[in-house]
Amino acid sequence: MERQKAAVILIADGTEEMEFTITYDTLIRAGIDVVSVFVPEDSSAPHSVSPPIAKGSRGINIMPDSYLDRSQLSPDKYNLLVVPGGAKGADTISKNPIVKELVKEYYTAGKLLGFICNGSLTALTAGLPRQPLTSHPGVKSVLEKDFQYSEDPVVVSGNLITSRGPGTSFPFALTLVEKLLGRPKRAEIEKPMVFPENTPWVNAPTSK
């Protein structure tokens, strides 16, 4: 029997709430086991007993499931690692040394990486090879020198999936579902979400 798919979503103070919650919720709807992991601003800070509250970019408090612990997050345990945006949150996550090491390990292992908005900076800080990628327009100038920059809502490049911002959170999350579980599962969870008729990303083929 195939093991249930599992995903890690990183979160920090300043993470964009829509990109975090829409992705988390959509993956759960698809039956994926999801854990949210708090990344501290100070990478040398000791762990506490319980995860702190992460204060999002719009001031919404979110309780993460666990702390950042590299020994618990290896690619043999998970199928997907997600980095949401939000300027401050993405800066903290993308610069964290453990995160950079994990991203390299996931990429090399062929596991999925999902970066949205400023979270795409993680592709740069982790030293991923030049390939198609997108991000929030605000960090385009930082990324376009080292990647084949695109302004598509979602860009799929092998096991790297990137997206643009809060408004592309749904197609981003649904693409992650499709890459993990196939188009039938994506279609299955899209229907009860009741998107307006002619929503462009519903039933649209995923770019390769």
Catalytic residues, by residue number, are 19, 117, 136
Distances in whole angstroms, Cα of residue 180 to Cα of each of 19, 24, 61, 176: 18, 14, 29, 6
122 neighbors 103 (Cβ within 8 angstroms): yes
DSSP designation for 50: S
Residues with Cβ < 8 Å from 30, sequence gap 6 or more? 177, 180, 181, 185, 186, 189
Helix/strand/coil for 157: strand
20 neighbors 62 (Cβ within 8 angstroms): yes
